[in-house]
Amino acid sequence: MSDTVRVRAVRPADLHVLQDVERAAGRWFRDVGMPEIADDDPLTLAELARYEAAGLAWAAVDGTDSPLGYLIADRVDGGFHVEQVSVHPDSARRGIGRLLLEHLAVHAARAGASTLTLTTFAEVPWNAPYYARCGFRVLADGALTPGLREIRDREAAHGLARWPRVCMRRTL
């Protein structure tokens, strides 16, 4: 594998690989006592295809053009919301997640957005503490926009509220 990593738009042929990346990345949650998250299914091919078709899915690829990680986003309340960012554990701690977030920040700014948002686990080291190092700040519940409240409600219905979660925002 080449040490050169670049970000490009996700292609339909990548979708199966993105699911594999998500499954592999999810296994880390088992180590922090969250086996339900580790065992959670990745997004379906149809869901990933929707992001790809909308131009809201990017892959970090190596020199052979193989995806090492990916990011998908939604437009929420005038900003861009990181729906998912995952890096295969074999490629972790190489700055790939940050590279994907920076790519989204540039895309969002070009599209006229002034913020990035995400929801994440508050106490998982590679979640909220990591995103804080990437320039995101925790939002108080009273500062949540209607779209972020809707996302939190969906997450709670999916069972994610059993662990502390936060919404975070990065101003561009």
- CA 19/CA 21 separation, integer angstroms: 5
Contact predicate 101/130, CB 8 Å: no
Q: Please name the amino acid found at residue 56.
A: L
pTM of the model: 0.93
- CA 71/CA 87 separation, integer angstroms: 9
Mean pLDDT, residues 141-154: 95
How much is the pLDDT for 105? 98
Is 80 or 26 the better-scoring residue by pLDDT? 80
- CA 132/CA 58 separation, integer angstroms: 22
Tokens of 18: 């993105």
Residue 164 makes CB contacts below 8 A (sequence gap 6+) with 121, 122, 123
- CA 31/CA 27 separation, integer angstroms: 8
Question: Using 50, 70 and 90 to split pLDDT, how confident is the model at 161?
Answer: confident
Question: Using 50, 70 and 90 to split pLDDT, how confident is the model at 139?
Answer: very high
- CA 80/CA 107 separation, integer angstroms: 9
Q: Give the sheet arrangement for strand 165-171, strand by strand.
A: 6-9, 57-61, 67-76, 79-87, 115-121, 165-171, 137-138
Q: 32-82, pLDDT tens digit by residue?
A: 989 899 888 999 999 999 999 999 999 999 999 999 999 999 999 999 999
Assign a CATH topology to domain 6-171: Aminopeptidase (3.40.630)
How much is the pLDDT for 125? 86
Mean pLDDT, residues 19-27: 94
Mean pLDDT, residues 22-30: 92
- CA 102/CA 83 separation, integer angstroms: 15
Looking at the chain, the whole-number percentage of residues with pLDDT higher than 70 is 99
